[in-house]
Amino acid sequence: MTMNLSLTDIQQTFRDCGLKSTPQRTAIYQALVHSTAHPTAENLFTQVSPAYPMLSLNTVYYTLGVLRKAGLVQEVNVGHDRARFDANLSPHHHVICLGCHAILDVMDPRLNRLSSPLGIPKDFEITSHQVAFRGYCGTCRRSRSSMTTSPSGKRPAIQ
Amino acid sequence: MTMNLSLTDIQQTFRDCGLKSTPQRTAIYQALVHSTAHPTAENLFTQVSPAYPMLSLNTVYYTLGVLRKAGLVQEVNVGHDRARFDANLSPHHHVICLGCHAILDVMDPRLNRLSSPLGIPKDFEITSHQVAFRGYCGTCRRSRSSMTTSPSGKRPAIQ
DNA sequence: TTGCTACATAGGAATCATTCCTAAACAGGA
DNA sequence: TCCTGTTTAGGAATGATTCCTATGTAGCAA
Ligand SMILES: [Mn+2]
Ligand SMILES: [Mn+2]
Ligand SMILES: [Zn+2]
Ligand SMILES: [Zn+2]
């Protein structure tokens, strides 16, 4: 989330990347830029839909693909379930709640400079790294401590 | 991969965990223990099938679920595509090839003691962390450097 | 050793996120 | 304004994983 990015800023960004500026694309990217929740495609669809009732989930996927190829969006590779998206491009890390699958940003510059890993093949070229901290958020921690015989765990909504 | 674990060792492990010891379960776990490739369910199915022609992929999934609940196996949460499994329970990290999706272990103890992250809610309880290094393995690096107009990228097989 | 029972297996169907396909709409440049 | 390649919407297809269920069997107790 690069602070409040106005509609015209976004359109300029698209122009800079050689991307056509359509209302749907703009709305989807704007929703993502203004979120820190690392929403899923469907989250974005749900959020943008009211303003564009004809919007297709398909378009959300297509748009995210385009934005990813343009380098404006990254997939947060955490869990193998549904994809989570992030418009925060600065190098950063994540804390993941094992209960509700919330993902929080960790902007800790100390983590950006880890020693390169020992014991991997010499010809392996590392281009980036990311630290994933896992645990339980306050909400999930409280629900677990009560019901010891947890039915299946509460899930505070994403986004 | 905890060094060569014999069949009887595995059966003992199952007994210790209160798990029934069936031929399929034993074969699946043994295949996983002896692999460092972080195979998928289907990889394990393919590997174990010849010895158990009646084996169902379903059973592989069920078995991995049981082993996971017993704490004998972890899912390597890297990418949101298909699940990768790991019987290496000691704290360690991974290098992931963006070309062929190979996953290598990084047993670097320096990475096991990272400073706890700044700027997250006080009531968030971190239970573990893992570093994911990304890049390109030698094979993939060579294939990319040649075909600049890469058709879609070669994929050296997993496992 | 035998029988019981809860757990395991196999196979098929169901689910669900994501991708593919295609016709119609449209942004942006000529 | 017109053209063309991109984008969109909707529907179908894909593919990993889960669900359902009948049958099989490991482990325990008699
Ligand atoms: Mn982030
Ligand atoms: Mn590993
Ligand atoms: Zn939580
Ligand atoms: Zn590779």
Say what the pLDDT of residue B78 is: 78
pLDDT band per the 50, 70, 90 thresholds, residue B147? low
B54-86 pLDDT tens trace: 999 999 999 999 999 999 999 997 777 899 999
pLDDT band per the 50, 70, 90 thresholds, residue A147? low
- How close A114 comes to chain B (CA, Å)? 8
pLDDT at B153 over 50: no
Closest nt to B53 (CA→C1')? C10
Residue A74, strand partner residues? A86
The highest-level CATH class for domain A1-89 is: mainly alpha
Exposure class string for A107-138: b at 16+ Cβ within 10 A, else e: ebeebeebeebeebeeebeeeebbbbbbbbbe
Tell me if chain B has a CB within 8 Å of the CB of A69: no
Query: Is the separation of the CB atoms in B142 and B97 below 8 Å?
Result: no
Closest nt to A61 (CA→C1')? C18
Say what the pLDDT of residue A141 is: 92
Whether the CB of A63 is less than 7 Å away from nucleic strand D comes out as yes
Say what the pLDDT of residue A5 is: 80
Asked whether the CA dihedral B68, B7, A120, B135 is positive or negative, the reply is: negative
Question: How many Cα atoms sit within 13 Å of B38 on the Cβ side?
Answer: 23
Say what the pLDDT of residue A144 is: 77
Give me the mean pLDDT over the B124-147 stretch.
89
pLDDT at A149 over 80: no
Say what the pLDDT of residue A56 is: 97
Q: How far is the CA of A9 from the centre of ligand 1 (A)?
A: 21
B5-45 pLDDT tens trace: 888 999 999 999 999 999 999 999 999 999 999 999 999 99
Whether the CB of A56 is less than 7 Å away from nucleic strand D comes out as yes
Say what the pLDDT of residue A79 is: 77
Give me the mean pLDDT over the A9-33 stretch.
97
The letter for the amino acid at A143 is: S
Question: Which of A112-116, A152-156, B38-42 shows the lowest mean pLDDT across its residues?
Answer: A152-156
Question: Which of A29-43, A140-154, B115-129 shows the lowest mean pLDDT across its residues?
Answer: A140-154
| More confident position, A144 or A151 | A144
- How close A53 comes to chain B (CA, Å)? 29
The letter for the amino acid at B157 is: A
- Is there a contact between B135 and A115 if contact means CB atoms under 8 Å apart? no
| More confident position, A130 or A143 | A130
**Residues in contact with B60: Cβ distance below 8 Å, sequence separation at least 6, in sequence order:** B28, B41, B42, B44, B45, B48
Distance A60 CA to D11 C1' (A): 16
**Structural domain spans, chain A:** 1-89, 92-159
Say what the pLDDT of residue B14 is: 97
Say what the pLDDT of residue B123 is: 94
* pTM beyond 0.75, yes or no: yes
